[in-house]
Amino acid sequence: MRTNCSGRNRRGGWTASIKNFRIQGALLGALALAAVPAFGNPITAGPKWYEFDFGLAGTAAIGCGTALTCTQTQNPAADQGNTTPWTFSLGPSGGSLFVLDLGDVGDRFEVFDNLASLGLTSNVANPTPNSNPCGSAGVLDIACSAGNAAYSNRLYSLASGSHSITINVVQNAGTTTFGQAVFQVTQSPSAAPEPSYIILMSAGLVGLAYSRRRRVVSVTNGIALR
């Protein structure tokens, strides 16, 4: 009887241990997945601007494709069909990411790439009452905002490879609790060959052509002598 009871206790203990192990494994798996940057909304590097929506400071921005409440933009009109995270790939020469606030001045952001912080956008005055020098009639002007130092912005350098961008709000403009902003991804042009390399290549080709010509002349003369 003691053996049977002991066996049941051991089996019960083993069962509990297996359940605990499975729970711990599931938790670790969930944490591991949370730590992996997501790649769900591919965008392209180029002249296109992408508009995003944001709320209170301390929260994450979302793409206008999710928010569905983004204000119209002009000069130029920005893409409003995007969702987070914003993912893309850059070639060997890398590229850049430009983030620009719109609407009321004073908003600031922290930008992340593959979960690593790239830093904050520029520190600007945050006036009260609110100031919106580049927005009128329900339209936000990108060109106007880009040319006005009152709007927080920053150009981030990016290496080649895959990128997954997320943006957090660190400061709201004046008394506002939401707003819109834009960003643009640019691919750096491929590096052109250095002039010295071109000169060396040209000299090598000339030398090769001259060498082949001498060989042909030598063979022709040898045949003629016979």
Q: Which residues pair with 86 in a beta bridge?
A: 41, 165
Whether the bond into 129 is cis, omega within 30 of 0: yes
Q: pLDDT band at 184, cuts 50/70/90?
A: very high
Question: What is the value of pTM for the model shown?
Answer: 0.70
Residue burial 44-61, b: 16+ Cβ < 10 Å; e: rest: ebeeebbbbbbbeeeeeb
| Assigned CATH class of 41-187 | mainly beta
Q: Is the pLDDT of residue 195 over 90?
A: no
Angle at 171 between CA 169 and CA 173, to 5 degrees: 115
Q: pLDDT band at 158, cuts 50/70/90?
A: very high
Judged by average pLDDT, the poorest of 51-55, 60-64, 79-83, 209-213 is 209-213
Strands 72-74 and 139-141: parallel
Q: Is 172 exposed, middle or buried (0-12, 13-18, 19+ CB in 10 A)?
A: buried
Determine the pLDDT at residue 137.
Answer: 78
DSSP reduced 3-state for 146: helix
Q: How many residues can be counted in the chain?
A: 226
Per-residue pLDDT tens for 76-90?
999 999 999 999 999
Q: Which residues pair with 169 in a beta bridge?
A: 109
CA distance 50 to 175: 25
Residue burial 3-37, b: 16+ Cβ < 10 Å; e: rest: eeeeeeeeeeeeeeeeeeeeeeeeeeeeeeeeeeb
Determine the pLDDT at residue 210.
Answer: 52
CA distance 97 to 44: 12
